[in-house]
Structure 1
Amino acid sequence: MTFGFAPPPAYDPSHRLGRILEPAEWAAAKIPLLSNPRELVSGLHARHLPLPSTAVVGVLHQDGRLAASASFRQRSTDADGWELRNGLLARLRRIIPHDLRLRAPVRTAVLLYCREGSGNWTEEDGAWMWGLRDACTLHGLRCGAYITMTPSGWQVLGEGRSGRRPYAGSRREAFAAEATEISVDGAASRNVDGAAPGGLQHSAAC
């Protein structure tokens, strides 16, 4: 059995449409609510300083505390959830062990995507939603919230909760962490993918 990164046998544009979640489908998935979305968004923004076209994936403990997070730039102009799923899965595998041996997921993955435009749902958002849901299944995690960050602020899609700060392009206000990857036990750290401190592509465990 093969998982993960094997490409489809042949490209078919119609397949792409099946790798996008509409808002109604996302709502029907009963995504768990965030206990404190403003705190989570502010923390992820401060750690990763996302610019437009940057995705920040975070993994939450059962009590809602952030266990690990990673950011990367991977824009899909064709809004293909399969491609975005692979990018998310690669970062999840790097920052935290899978929970596939558990009967039911205990940790939750959330995704913050920084982009231009309004906070309204787009096909690109639908592709990220599909990618997040599928990456969570393959890594043994619960699928959590999808959050957009635009120049006007942030919004948890499907929940109606939003805020004006932080926003796309706003400066870090709390943390001063470098672009590093830190082991789950906090014993070691190193730069990721050759990124210089303060770079865009990095991950960190908290």
Structure 2
Amino acid sequence: MPVPSLPAEPASSPPRAIGPQEWTAANVPLLGNPREVVTGLYERHSPAAGTVVVGVLDPDERLRASASFTRRPGDSDGWVFRNTLLAQLRRVIPHDLRRRVPVRTAVLLHCREGESRWTAEDGAWMWGLRDACTLHGLRCGAYVTLTGAGWQILGEGRGGRHPRLGSRTTLFVPAADEVPTRPGQLGPLPEQRVESAERLAPGDEMPEQRAGRGGSLTERAAGLLSRPIDTPREQWPRTAAR
């Protein structure tokens, strides 16, 4: 089936945009786990300021496809934004125009400097997202701004501080028994030592128990052989019984 061409812009038409009240009244479907969706888009594309990310979610909110691009400076018309988003959607996922009811949802992540509150440019992006979803057989989903202060879903009031522009969302935290203890560093916490003890096989000993025996078998034998013959028994080196 041939892909329809992008609609031509009518002459002398006013800029297309949506106000915050109109967007709120549009009953945009709420995300069940917005932080997971935002984090998934951020980790996949690592966007910088001026980047726009559009993602397509399955009914269970799994990220099915996504695309990112840099916003061209000077554009502020929803018609231009709609054509840009529609071209990106056609590039990453087939349309669902044959379905009577859309089952997938498109969300938009707009990364920028400054505040996360609604602006006139956001209204143009909202208009473009809504129209692009209609032409691609998708539901129009959340519009999220991402700034240095965090992320914010416009029209809902939900947001968070992580991820944010320039942040690292995936951190490797080694397990307690993988952290080397160097001079000047603290050892494992008490609860971590308990977990290590639970993993020991029957008959094994903790490092502290081995250290408390006063050294290796060779060292203990050397201590016994080196004691004077006439040393009283109570002054002999003490050894731990096995």
Sort the TM-score into its range (normalised by shorter chain): 0.7 to 0.9
Aligned equivalents of 1:32, 1:6: Cα separation in 2: 27
Q: Does 1:85 find its partner at 2:82?
A: yes
Aligned residue identity for 1:112: L
Q: What is the deviation of 1:165?
A: 1.1
Q: Does 1:5 find its partner at 2:20?
A: no
Q: Which residue pairs with 2:14 in the alignment? A: 15
- Which of residues 162, 167, 171 in structure 2 aligns to 1:165? 162
Structure with more helix by fraction: 2
* Structure ranking higher on relative contact order (CA contacts 8 Å, 6+ apart): 1
| Number of aligned positions between the proteins | 170
Q: Unaligned 5+ residue runs, structure 1?
A: 175-206
Aligned residue identity for 2:77: D
Q: Secondary structure at the match of 1:144?
A: strand
Q: What is the deviation of 1:171?
A: 3.2
Which of the pair has more CA radius of gyration? 2
Q: Relative to 1, partners in 2 of residues 1:164 and 1:99: Cα closer, same or farther, differing over 3 Å?
A: same
Once the two structures are aligned, what percentage of the paired residues are identical?
65
Aligned equivalents of 1:88, 1:157: Cα separation in 2: 19
Q: Which residue pairs with 2:102 in the alignment? A: 105
On the 8 A contact 1:76/1:84 being kept in 2, the answer is no
Deviations 1:59-98 (A, max 9, x none): 0111111111110012453411111111110111011110
Aligned equivalents of 1:62, 1:111: Cα separation in 2: 16
Q: Unaligned 5+ residue runs, structure 2?
A: 172-242
- Which of residues 130, 143, 153 in structure 2 aligns to 1:156? 153
Structure with more strand by fraction: 1
- TM-score between the two structures when normalised by the length of structure 2: 0.66
On the 8 A contact 1:53/1:114 being kept in 2, the answer is yes
Q: Relative to 1, partners in 2 of residues 1:85 and 1:9: Cα closer, same or farther, differing over 3 Å?
A: closer
Aligned equivalents of 1:161, 1:5: Cα separation in 2: 34
Q: Relative to 1, partners in 2 of residues 1:9 and 1:103: Cα closer, same or farther, differing over 3 Å?
A: closer
Alignment of 1:32-71 (within 5 A): 32-71=29-68
Aligned residue identity for 2:34: P
Q: What is the deviation of 1:173?
A: 2.2
Aligned residue identity for 2:6: F
- TM-score between the two structures when normalised by the length of structure 1: 0.78
Q: Secondary structure at the match of 1:59?
A: strand
Aligned equivalents of 1:24, 1:15: Cα separation in 2: 19
Q: What is the deviation of 1:8?
A: 2.4
